[in-house]
Amino acid sequence: TGLITGLITGHFLMNSTLPPAGAELMEGQLMWDFESDAKELEADSWSSTVDKKYLKQLKKDVVKRQDVIYELIQTEMHHVRTLHIMADVYSKGLQKEMQLETQTLEKMFPVMEELLDVHTDFFTRLLERKRAEQAEKDEQGGYIIRRIGDVLLEQVTGFNADRMTKIYGKFCSRHNEAVNLYKELHAKDKRFQAFIKKTMSSSIVRRLSIPECILLVTQRITKYPVLLQRILQHTKEPEEEQGDTAEALQQVKEVIAAVDLKVSEYEMTAEALQQVKEVIAAVDLKSGQMFAKEDLIRGRRLVHDGPLQLKNTAGRLKDVQALLLSDVFVFLQEKDQKYVFASLDQRSTVISLRKLIVREVANEERGLFLITAGMEKPEMVEVYSSSKVERNTWIQLIQNTMQSM
């Protein structure tokens, strides 16, 4: 039975009680579930698993591509394993031994079943492709995975893309809440402390704590662009494989941007709003200015805030704090430990969202233009974020806010 097949058909811990004090039988069963088929992925790289004579026949790009594909499959297996530790060891164990309520467990381990479904499916398809290619080994025992782009593209488009966006949006949004709940229970509950200590000493868990698991899961989706970029870099043919891999890379970046957007929306809680109100309260206005700081709050809703850079006519970048409100975009700058409205070539840095046009800056993946239309003399502000993903998040937020006006 394969690694994933065993986990799917058995779901050993899903339907059984976690025995007290770490029974050896349970540990042995889990080891079988997790590790029985992992042996084919225990090598450090693909190139270390094939005959050296076979390797010498291959171009360097082919070898490097196979090594990255192997790394993708191997790390996906590790990810599925981490998810099972969270769901089947920690969550089920806390439910059985500590009688923690379902609501508490869902707060500490949000959308676990959904995450397992997504990544079990993906890993299964990756492993099936690997095994299909292995079945056609040459006389030297060598094999290469010729096609992987179609599997990658399927994972980050259509239904799967929507599913990943929704699930990771929820999980990543609740990252801090989950970790804080763990810390709270660990600080005040000795039974919880004992359970964690016992569980972490298990050869299955390998001293992987709950906060570490949460962090690993949060980070996983951000690893895909790097891996796909490296696969694409070493994919020279065929054209269809290049196209699928390139499209998968673009699509996974869009999924990450959509997840970031969901996290940003969730984080705009009452506490975050209060923090921004404190920033606004620190705005130091000169007499005679048309826009009062009270206007920033009165009748307006905060959508998003964060650091950006404005480009002036001389081409220099100025650090600013940007506030996206329900109908205006405001740029503030820090001066003498106070915030003041940013100055930019005598232009207003309070920009109405009405008739605003948002455009990407050509050949600048971090840049965007804010063009104020419907005026006698339209104005354009050039803005830069710290990354392309952050730029895309701002664009999406601005457009969503304009549509809801």
pLDDT digit string, tens, across residues 104-154: 999 999 999 999 999 999 999 999 999 999 888 766 668 899 999 999 999
Question: What span, in angstroms and rounded, lies between the C-alpha atoms of 131 and 150?
Answer: 16
One of 3.20.20.70, 3.20.20.20, 1.20.900.10, 2.30.30.60 is the CATH number of 3-267, namely: 1.20.900.10
Amino acid making up residue 262: K
Q: How confident is the model at residue 180 (pLDDT cuts 50, 70, 90)?
A: very high
Question: What span, in angstroms and rounded, lies between the C-alpha atoms of 238 and 52?
Answer: 25
How much is the pTM?
0.63
How confident is the model over 208-233, as a mean pLDDT?
97
pLDDT of residue 273: 55
pLDDT of residue 125: 96
- Give tens-digit pLDDT for 29-77: 554 455 656 778 888 999 998 888 899 999 999 999 999 999 999 999 9
Question: What span, in angstroms and rounded, lies between the C-alpha atoms of 277 and 283?
Answer: 10
DSSP string, 92-151: HHHHHHS---HHHHHHHSTTHHHHHHHHHHHHHHHHHHHHHHHTT--TTS-------HHH
pLDDT of residue 299: 67
* Encoded tokens for 226: 């790097």
Q: Where does CATH 2.30.29.30 sit in the chain?
A: 270-403
- Please determine, for residue 298, whether its predicted confidence score (pLDDT) is greater than 90: no
CATH 2.30.29.30 holds for 270-403: yes
* Encoded tokens for 93: 């164990």
Q: Where does CATH 1.20.900.10 sit in the chain?
A: 3-267
Could you identify the residue written with the tokens 């899903």?
Answer: 14
